[in-house]
Structure 1
Amino acid sequence: MPLRLIFMGTPDFAVPTLLELVAHGHEVVAVYTRAPKPAGRGMKMQPSPVEQEARRLGIPVMTLGTLKTPEALAEFRTHNADAAVVVAYGMILPQAILDAPRYGCYNLHGSLLPRWRGAAPINRAIMAGDAESGVMVMKMDVGLDTGDVAMAERLAITDTMTAADLHDALAPLGADLMVRAMGGLERGGLQLTKQSEDGVTYAAKIEKAEARIDWTRPAREVLRHIHGLSPFPGAWCEMAGEAEPVRLKILRCELANGSGAPGDVLDDNLAIACGDRAIRIVELQRAGKGPMKSAEFLRGTALKPPARLD
């Protein structure tokens, strides 16, 4: 029989999993998501992507500020769920909540655990130069992404991938994986394996101070730093302006030949010298403007030798 599920998630990354669970006949009896936040020019309250989809599907939505009260636990138990599926929910689940569903709570995590436990696994994998990433389904415990693993899928990371690219590749891969995991749970055949204690790393939340580009680093490290922060918060540098420096977010780049002092503009097509070799800027965003390809940027801005980016 299909499972009776609670779904807990918030951002775009979680939406494919919700849709796939519903499409495969599971009964999603409630969706827990973060409360609406002000967004846009008018700062209107914007429901999360998961809330928008849940309401479209006619699923009851809960936007609690905490799960640690007796009232929250009592309400959670009233759903009489077989399991809870958690995808980037954004809140800590206390032990009482983890224990409430019949078969427990299962999390979809965007890394190959135990590597990159924590908040920003997609960004950190790219920034660290990892050759691969993936998704894993684990049965949750009270630790930070320390639960036993049920299933995994791997995906190669190329130097052309930005965080947005990897996010968009992992989201449907994870949705399919979670559907297969819930199918195994439904049939009583879901096998769990303890995580290794070797190779544990933590994907700390991205801090704004990390976003400034350091041109003294090797070109490939600069490229991975830029791509790991694209599109948000965006790795940035400054170019000289008429009155004051102008901030540029670099969104996409490629490795290039050439050398010079780190930060030097090497040609008319936005090749920039790094600690070794160079990168060529492919897409960027000037402060106050939208993202644009380098050719469009150069039509309105002269940036060629002997200019430099700081």
Structure 2
Amino acid sequence: MRIVFMGTPEFAVPTLDALVAAGHDIVAAYSQPPRPGGRRGRELVASPVQQRAEALNIEVRTPVSLRTAEAQAEFTALDADIAVVAAYGLILPQPILDAPPHGCLNVHGSLLPRWRGAAPIQRAILAGDAETGICIMRMEAGLDTGPVLLEERTPIGPYDTAGILSHRLSQIGAKLMVRVLNNPSAYPPVAQPDDGVTYASKVDKAEARVRWDRGARQVDRQIRAFNPAPGAWFEYGGERIRVHTARVQSAPDDPENINFLAEPGLVLDDQLAVGCGVGAIRPDTVQRAGRGVMTAQELLRGFPIPIGARL
């Protein structure tokens, strides 16, 4: 099958690899343009999909938009049978959706209609969802409103970060997309239900500041949802400290009690347990600006945060 592949982040790479391994003809890969990165952001860095496609000798296109007549004509001229989309990041206008005779299929990282939109993995963790999954969806003009051909569920574990969950879902998505393309008639599209619709808005960097007043369980979810990006953080002594991993802390006098009252943002012990109003959080791995990832104990040896400090 002649396929145009459209994706940008690491999440999309396993699907591209799986399509190639399955023997499909990838006539072009579309990805978002290179962004500033590298050392001090002074050089343009190609997306993971662009890098992988180039390594596979696949033509790569990185238009800023697909809304121009020129971009749409170039897409149509590829004469693809179908487009496969995985976290591309650009809206596909109707002429693009209509160009391939078999339409456009999307690898979406949630159990639709829950978490339509840009950040389904992060929003599922933030909301405390017990499970999530992958849907292979036929794309239409609405935001992730198209019918679903195939889905697979996976639990969200207590230590799953967005990075861990994204990797697992990317492997599931690659497998499901190949299954659908290898036997399309076996997976008729099913319209999404009207009930249960939620929207996964794009993550704003301001959301990553730790809110100690939200309760330990919520803070734990915030840290996991924003790992690896944009990274949850707090400030102390005029410096921003990023929290990579943490754990909910039990009460000092009751190991079974994680819902004890603790003043938000107050450092409770010499191990950096921090009160969250209800319960406490103990950061495990952290990072100072310009430094590598370190344990909380390594941080405290070089950057003391005493008991009673307020974060």
Name the SS of the counterpart of 1:153 in structure 2.
Answer: strand
Secondary structure, aligned partner of 1:7: strand
The structural deviation recorded for 1:137 is: 0.6
The one-letter code of the counterpart of 1:74 is A
User: Kindly, what percent of the aligned residue pairs are identical?
Assistant: 52
Q: Which residue of structure 2 aligns with residue 249 of structure 1?
A: 242
- How far residue 159 of structure 1 moved from its aligned partner, in angstroms, is 2.1
Q: Does the 8 Å contact 2:163/2:228 carry over to 1?
A: yes
What residue identity is the alignment partner of 1:138? M
Q: Are 2:142 and 1:106 equivalent residues in the alignment?
A: no
Contact 2:180 2:186 in 1 (8 A): no
The 10-residue stretch of structure 1 (42-51 or 162-171) with the greater mean CA deviation from structure 2? 42-51
- Counterpart for residue 303 of structure 1: 305
Distance in 2 separating the partners of 1:210 and 1:73 = 36
- The corresponding residue for 1:223 is 220
Contact 1:118 1:145 in 2 (8 A): yes
What's the TM-score once normalised by structure 1's chain length?
0.93
Deviation at 1:112, TM superposition (A): 0.9
Write the mapping of 1:185-204 to structure 2, written as runs, cut at 5 A: 185=184, 188-204=185-201
Write out aligned runs for 1:235-246 (5 A).
235-239=232-236, 241=237, 245-246=238-239
Among 18, 21, 34, which residue is 1:36 paired with? 34
Deviations 1:222-276 (A, max 9, x none): 110111111211122122x2xxx22111121111113531112122222111111
User: Which deviates the most, 209-218 or 103-112?
Assistant: 209-218
Q: Give how far 1:77 is off.
A: 1.7
Matches within 5 A, 1:65-214: 65-185=64-184, 188-214=185-211
Please give the secondary structure, in 1, of the residue aligned with 2:213. Answer: coil
Aligned to 1:18: 16
Structure 2 partner of 1:266: 268
Aligned to 2:39, the other structure's residue is in SS state coil
Tell me the SS of whatever aligns to 2:271. Answer: coil
For residues 41 and 176 of structure 1, the distance between their equivalents in structure 2, rounded to whole angstroms, comes to 35
Partner of 2:150, secondary structure, is strand
How many Å separate the matches in 2 of 1:308 and 1:100? 58
8 Å Cα contact 1:110-1:122 kept in structure 2: yes
Deviations 1:276-303 (A, max 9, x none): 1111111111223222222322232222
Q: Cα deviation per residue 1:23-79 (whole Å; 9 max; x = unaligned)? A: 011111111111112212262221111111111111111112222222222221222
- Note if contact 1:159-1:223 (Cα within 8 Å) is conserved in structure 2: no
- Alignment-derived partner of residue 8 in structure 1: 6
Structure 2, gaps ≥5 residues long: 252-260
SS of the residue 1:216 aligns to: helix
Q: What is aligned with 2:46? A: 47
Gap regions ≥5 residues in structure 1 = none
AA aligned opposite 1:38:
P
1:198 Cα deviation after fit:
0.7
The TM-score, its normalising length taken from structure 2, stands at 0.93
SS in structure 1 at match of 2:44: strand
Per-residue deviation, 1:308: 2.6
Runs ≥4 residues deviating over 4 A: none
Equivalents in 2 of 1:193, 1:40: separation in Å? 43
In 1, Cα distance between the equivalents of 2:77 and 2:263?
65
Asked if the contact 1:218/1:276 (under 8 Å) is kept, the reply is yes
- Give the letter for the 2:197 counterpart: V
What is the CA–CA distance in structure 1 between the aligned matches of 2:263 and 2:35, rounded to whole Å? 44
Q: Cα RMSD over matched residues?
A: 1.4
Q: How many residues align?
A: 301
2:231 pairs with 1:234: yes
How many angstroms apart in 1 are the aligned matches of 2:91 and 2:131?
Answer: 27
Note the C-alpha offset of 1:102.
1.4
Secondary structure class of the residue paired with 1:122: helix
Q: Report Cα offsets for 1:136-166 as digits up to 9, x if no partner.
A: 1100001000000011111111221111111
Range with greater deviation from structure 2 (46-55 or 143-152): 46-55
- Code of the aligned partner of 1:23: A
**CA deviation after TM superposition for structure 1 residue 184, in Å:** 2.1
